[in-house]
Amino acid sequence: MIDYFLEADYYQICKQGYQACGDSFYSIKSKDRFVSVLADGLGSGIKASVLATLTTTMAAGFIASNMDIRRAAEVILETLPVCSYRHIGYSTFTIIDAGNDGSLRIIEHDNPPYIFLRNGEVVTITKQEIPIKSFKKSHLYYSEIQLQPEDRIVYYSDGVSQAGMGLPHLPLGWQEKGVESYLVSILKADNRISAGDIAKRTALKSREFDGNKAADDITCAALYFRKPRRTLVITGPPYKREHDHILAEIAEQFEGKKVVCGGTTAAIISREMNIPISVNLKEIKANTDIPPSANMQGFDLVTEGTITLSRCLHAMEEDVNLDTLSESAVKRLMKLLIDSDIIEFVVGTKINEAHQDPALPKDLEIRRNLMKQFCKVLEVNYLKSTNIVFV
- φ, ψ for residue 36 (rounded to 5)? -135, 135
pLDDT tens per residue, range 126-178: 999 988 766 556 679 999 999 999 999 999 999 999 999 988 888 999 999 99
How, if at all, do strands 128-132 and 121-122 pair? unpaired
Q: Are residues 323 and 203 in the same domain?
A: no
Distance CA 352, CA 142 (A): 56
pLDDT for residue 360: 46
Domain's final residue, options 203, 226, 249: 226
152 and 253 both lie in a single domain: no
The pLDDT score that the predictor gives to residue 343 is 96
Output helix, strand, coil percentages for the chain, rounded to the nearest 5.
35, 30, 35
> In terms of domains, do 52 and 68 share one?
yes
Q: Please, are residues 8 and 65 in contact by the beta-carbon 8 Å criterion?
A: no
In this structure, what CATH number is given to the domain that contains residue 209? 3.60.40.10
* C-alpha pair distances (Å), 48 with each of 98, 111, 163: 27, 15, 19
Both 344 and 380 in one domain: the answer is yes
Q: What pLDDT was estimated at residue 65?
A: 87
Residues 46 and 82 in one domain: yes
pLDDT for the residue numbered 364: 39
pLDDT at 64: 85
Residue 43 lies in domain = 5-226
Contact yes or no for 217/40 (Cβ under 8 A) = yes
Check: CB of residue 197 under 8 Å from CB of residue 309. no
Q: Is 293 exposed, middle or buried (0-12, 13-18, 19+ CB in 10 A)?
A: buried
Q: What is the pLDDT of residue 359?
A: 46
CA 371 to CA 309: how far, in whole Å? 9
Name the band, by pLDDT with cuts 50, 70 and 90, for residue 318: very high
- My answer on whether 102 and 145 are in the same domain is yes
| Strand, helix or coil for residue 42 | coil
Pairing of strands 301-303, 257-261: parallel
Shared domain check, 207 and 72: yes
- Would you place residue 199 in the very low, low, confident or very high pLDDT band (cuts 50, 70, 90)? very high
- The amino acid at residue 21 is C
238 and 220: one domain?
A: no
Same-domain check for residues 272 and 358: yes
Q: Which of 175, 199, 226 is the last residue of a domain?
A: 226
Q: Residues 166, 92: one domain? A: yes
Residue 222 phi, psi (nearest 5): -145, 150
pLDDT of 319-344, one tens digit each?
888 888 888 899 999 999 998 999 99
What residues form DSSP beta bridges with 232? 258, 344
Do residues 208 and 262 both lie within one domain?
no
Mean pLDDT of 308-323: 91
Same domain, 336 and 235: yes
230-244 tens-digit pLDDT: 999 999 888 888 889
According to the model, what pLDDT value does residue 370 have?
A: 87
**Number of domains observed in the structure of the chain:** 2
Query: At residue 66, what is the residue type?
Result: N
Q: How far is the C-alpha of 146 from the C-alpha of 160, rounded, in Å?
A: 26
Q: How many residues does the chain have?
A: 391
Q: What is the pLDDT of residues 100-113, one digit of tens each?
A: 889 999 999 999 99
| Final residue in a domain of this structure, among 196, 226, 256 | 226
Residue 212 has pLDDT above 90, yes or no: yes
d(CA 203, CA 6): 21
